[in-house]
A and B are shown apart, each in its own frame.
Chain A
């Protein structure tokens, strides 16, 4: 029995490895037909993996809810993928596959940690993906999205500022809103509005004076986040703004100035705030205070180290001794039970999402949509970096969730919304230009 379970563990790793490989080899195929074949193979890999993992989970304690949830998930994922392909005609199937795969991995791990988490997460995913079927329609209807840069910025600051007053503190950051007992993190949605704001404003080719004003608006976001003790959030907003600013203006001086300002701010934050120092110290030497500040990161490393390359096997580790393992530290739990190779593959899947988004951004002609796609992609990518970097002790932990995998409605829904917006913009404004471009390029080559 154990041997079979062990073998299945290897198969799961291999399936994800093949899936990941396809994520990158697909770029080499120009032919749509061949690409579609690869996407179909990817689908097979992920549904097979999903199946095996659920069986493995089921045999651990024969909880019938696992089978029930699996059934719902299977039907839902199959249907929603079909629906997306219909409504988002010409969408990036790679991004769609990746989103479903990452959601699956999240559900598997949450099921292993606590079945209730998985059930609730599934509700969020269903709600998110279902609602987002409307996104292309909205983008098409409202053609003037790009005109309200300042308004977006204003709304963002109002929401974040309001949190300072009415926000509820959780995990040390005061950025949660309690509505009828349900905790939501508005920050996750402000992220998107923030990207709209800077994309809209920077797409208007602002003068230097205006850039100063825009920067002040972005800085206000970051400052409020720092006051709410959400360092990860502050970093995300800051880095995203910086990248979009430099890309839109093409001025490297902004990058230098931005990095200088960011560096100075970090040093200041380290000096001023005890909670920042605490995290940095826990990062530099978690072993010196394992029972206190270093506890989480030490246990995260224990988990990853004990798991090794191939993991302890689903249900055979003890991820639950890491505090908030279902959220910020879920990557450690994945590495512990499914293995380091599995973890590395996941990172590659995130990378492929990002490459795809940056491709889409290049293909979109409208500057507002172009910068929005890029901004959302950059925001997403840095979030993955901060999250995984934090739990693997590459950087100090900043308390950021792992998109689509970590437990949490706000995080999951906002990520789905992010990708739906990107896909929507792509199918509406990307593909046409794309074809025109290709035609032109061919013409050029002909000359």
Chain B
């Protein structure tokens, strides 16, 4: 009898242990159900899943890529024999923004391939089509690109090497993205060899707008200005008399063409892009603090951008030598920035001090009835500036248009603001032309970042591009 009682105890233990063990199976099944029930298109759209995506392609005609205003940027055409090919009506214009499908996929064409191969149209019709053996039309991808702005940017850049990014500073939606020289995605297979060979060192496949890193030139004075305001609580106290040339801690700094700017307050120094004044400002700054401030502005940091891009770099600290310091604060040191990042900085002044997440793709729509299947959510924008910084910086940028280096943008129906730059990139004195800035009209804003490689000054070559973009937008 004692024996039996003992067994009962053991049996009870076994039962308890077994029940506990069953819990892990509940977890196992729960996890699997959760994975299957949750929306895992983000996972399945991964470029590494391309083979399974191709499998889906057998039953659907890949959807189109559309601009915000409904223009078709990429579509699949089926010829009489039933062969499909991808067609890009605008040829080179959207090459870097939209990507390509032959010779490996790229861009939107690659990362949103999965969505374009799914069909969320009326399930009755799709089922009927399946039975009939007719391919369903995949969903469309609607980008944020605006065909008017893109065309203006593309034409304005012309045959020069360079890049343009235009975005809505309030939400980070990319309205235009141009990189030149470019390629025609329609004939990329045929041209592949010469594109890869790159005989003339043009890097046509490179998206300069996001992957190109350039010295920022005078556009970097915006960062120096913001740090100066941060450290001094404002800019009113600043005054400087420019004689076209100055020696700071043993380093000689000249203004462009040694032009004497005379008596300056902070606005004038910025608008005229006075190197001497800004070298002096820079020499007064706490460089360790500036370094950490640059970090919050995403120098040396990752930008939350889903496609290929290069990280901007900035390195100054209290240990940097004097020459490097004065060169760097006026944008001539080792600092490197991408046009995309510079557009975010311009947008940050336009939107009241927020860094936004740049976004190229807005939503997925069904092909037939344009029903929204999903909208790609954006991260919350992050406030990185004080009101004071925003106010003074925007006044300075407006002054640049009013009386400084970007006066060709003055007198329009919209109010423009910005900063030019001429970034010397070799000893010969040749320079890249920069303009970053924004425009506003009746609450509608646009921020731009333009680089024209080896062209000359920002005023002469980059500002006119901005003007054409703004004109097209408003």
Interface residues of chain A, those whose CB is within 8 Å of chain B, are 2-3, 243, 246-248, 250, 287, 290-291, 298-299, 301-306, 308-309, 312, 316-318, 321, 335, 340, 343-344, 347-348, 350-351, 354-355, 358, 361-362, 365, 367, 370, 374, 378, 381, 385, 388-389, 392-394
Nearest Cβ in chain B — how far from A68, in angstroms? 29
Cα distance, A393 to B27, chains bound together (Å):
12
Q: Please indicate the chain A residues that have their CB under 8 angstroms from the CB of B17 in the complex.
A: 243, 246-247, 358, 374, 378
Cα distance, A309 to B35, chains bound together (Å):
10
Q: How many contacting A-B pairs (Cβ < 8 A)?
A: 116
Is B10 touching A394 in the complex (CB atoms < 8 A)?
Answer: no
Is A347 touching B24 in the complex (CB atoms < 8 A)?
Answer: no
Q: Name which residue of chain A comes closest to B36, CB basis.
A: A340
Contact A340 to B32, CB < 8 A, known contacts A362-B15, A394-B27: yes
Is A344 touching B131 in the complex (CB atoms < 8 A)?
Answer: no
Is A290 touching B46 in the complex (CB atoms < 8 A)?
Answer: yes
Q: Please indicate the chain A residues that have their CB under 8 angstroms from the CB of B56 in the complex.
A: 306
Is B35 touching A374 in the complex (CB atoms < 8 A)?
Answer: no
Contact A344 to B14, CB < 8 A, known contacts A302-B52, A318-B52, A392-B35: no
Is A347 touching B29 in the complex (CB atoms < 8 A)?
Answer: yes
Is A306 touching B55 in the complex (CB atoms < 8 A)?
Answer: yes
Nearest Cβ in chain A — how far from B38, in angstroms? 10
Nearest Cβ in chain A — how far from B187, in angstroms? 29
Beyond the given A378-B21, A389-B31, please list 12 additional residue pairs across the A-B interface where CB-CB is below 8 A.
A247-B14, A250-B9, A299-B48, A302-B49, A304-B35, A305-B35, A306-B49, A308-B36, A343-B32, A347-B29, A355-B22, A362-B15
* B319: Cβ under 8 A from any A Cβ: no
* B159: Cβ under 8 A from any A Cβ: no
Nearest Cβ in chain A — how far from B105, in angstroms? 15
Nearest Cβ in chain B — how far from A403, in angstroms? 14
Contact A3 to B18, CB < 8 A, known contacts A246-B13, A344-B29: no
Is A302 touching B32 in the complex (CB atoms < 8 A)?
Answer: no
Q: Name which residue of chain B comes closest to A381, CB basis.
A: B21
Cα distance, A316 to B54, chains bound together (Å):
12
Is A358 touching B51 in the complex (CB atoms < 8 A)?
Answer: no
Is A347 touching B52 in the complex (CB atoms < 8 A)?
Answer: no
- Cβ contacts A to B, 14 pairs, < 8 Å: A247-B10, A248-B10, A250-B10, A287-B43, A287-B46, A302-B49, A305-B44, A306-B52, A312-B55, A340-B33, A343-B32, A370-B10, A388-B28, A392-B32
Is B55 touching A301 in the complex (CB atoms < 8 A)?
Answer: no
* B40: Cβ under 8 A from any A Cβ: yes
Is B24 touching A301 in the complex (CB atoms < 8 A)?
Answer: no
Q: Please indicate the chain B residues that have their CB under 8 angstroms from the CB of A2 in the complex.
A: 130, 133
Q: Please indicate the chain A residues that have their CB under 8 angstroms from the CB of B52 in the complex.
A: 302-303, 306, 317-318
Is A302 touching B10 in the complex (CB atoms < 8 A)?
Answer: no
* B7: Cβ under 8 A from any A Cβ: yes
Is A247 touching B44 in the complex (CB atoms < 8 A)?
Answer: no
Contact A351 to B10, CB < 8 A, known contacts A243-B17, A304-B36: no
Q: Name which residue of chain A comes closest to B25, CB basis.
A: A351
* B11: Cβ under 8 A from any A Cβ: yes
Contact A392 to B28, CB < 8 A, known contacts A247-B10, A302-B52: yes
Nearest Cβ in chain A — how far from B471, in angstroms? 43
Cα distance, A340 to B38, chains bound together (Å):
13
Nearest Cβ in chain B — how far from A257, in angstroms? 16
Nearest Cβ in chain B — how far from A377, in angstroms? 8
Q: Please indicate the chain B residues that have their CB under 8 angstroms from the CB of A361 in the complex.
A: 14
Cα distance, A243 to B32, chains bound together (Å):
26
Q: Please indicate the chain B residues that have their CB under 8 angstroms from the CB of A347 in the complex.
A: 25, 28-29, 32
Cα distance, A78 to B7, chains bound together (Å):
38
A-contact 0/1 string along B45-67, CB 8 Å cutoff? 01011011001100000000000
Is A306 touching B44 in the complex (CB atoms < 8 A)?
Answer: yes
Contact A305 to B40, CB < 8 A, known contacts A378-B21, A385-B28: yes
